[in-house]
Chains A and B, each alone.
Chain A
Amino acid sequence: AQSVAQPEDQVNVAEGNPLTVKCTYSVSGNPYLFWYVQYPNRGLQFLLKYITGDNLVKGSYGFEAEFNKSQTSFHLKKPSALVSDSALYFCAVSFLTGNQFYFGTGTSLTVIP
């Protein structure tokens, strides 16, 4: 079965410290991987995607993610967290022969001033 997992419901990090939000996936075939962010009372905003090529993907607002095929992971990272990064983050996966996106359960990130 196709699935994506976000093992942490909540991540807390101090402002200025690096942050990591974890995502692992299970799909047959090559995955397309996405990260979205959701601020309170807003829809999901696209941050970045991995389709093929370079394993390190750079996205909006200084975020980046590393695709690791052997560990089937696609962790979201940022070198220096801002208080304004506090939000709900969703990893999503699709694949060539599928017909929809599969969302992870979400990780609530809190950046502490």
Chain B
Amino acid sequence: DTEVTQTPKHLVMGMTNKKSLKCEQHMGHRAMYWYKQKAKKPPELMFVYSYEKLSINESVPSRFSPECPNSSLLNLHLHALQPEDSALYLCASSLSAGSLNQPQHFGDGTRLSIL
């Protein structure tokens, strides 16, 4: 069992739908991350939250909208996605965004399919 919980595990949506991905951790970590991963490829960083504030946005299209309601929760709001957005979306957390000598802890991801 992972210490980072992501829901839902699978999501199928049309291009006009609005949905949200959720991530929760209770390790007291103050940095949380969203990654996009295509099959057999490395994770691609999308967003970094540090102490509930967005600190990195890797030029992600505005159809992806992150939100960090508190230190334990991270959401990714989806709207008007494209077929190429189909991927595994991974959430991760670490002690703090500045502690790059600490590992990130990953959830099992949400597998997203866009019809």
Contact partner of A103 (CB less than 8 A), chosen from B43, B100, B103, is B43
Contacting residues, chain A, for B56 (C-beta < 8 A): 99-100
Contact between chains at B107 and A43 (CB < 8 Å): yes
| Contact stretch, chosen from A16-24, A64-72, A75-83, A88-96 | A88-96
Q: How near does chain A come to B42, taking the closest CB pair, in angstroms?
A: 4
Contacting residues, chain B, for A49 (C-beta < 8 A): 101, 103
Instruction: Number of A interface residues at 8 Å Cβ cutoff, please give it.
Output: 25
Chain B contact residues, majority secondary structure: loop
Contact between chains at B40 and A51 (CB < 8 Å): no
Q: How near does chain B come to A84, taking the closest CB pair, in angstroms?
A: 17
| A45 in the interface (beta carbon within 8 A) | yes
| B2 in the interface (beta carbon within 8 A) | yes
Contact between chains at A100 and B105 (CB < 8 Å): no
Contact between chains at B100 and A41 (CB < 8 Å): no
**Across the two chains, which residue of chain A brings its CB closest to B4?**
A43
| B34 in the interface (beta carbon within 8 A) | no
14 contacts between A and B (CB under 8 A): A32-B101, A34-B103, A36-B103, A36-B106, A44-B106, A94-B101, A95-B100, A96-B100, A99-B48, A99-B56, A103-B43, A106-B40, A106-B41, A108-B40
Q: Which residues of B contact A (CB under 8 A)?
A: 2, 4, 6, 40-43, 45, 48, 55-56, 90, 92, 97, 100-101, 103-109, 111
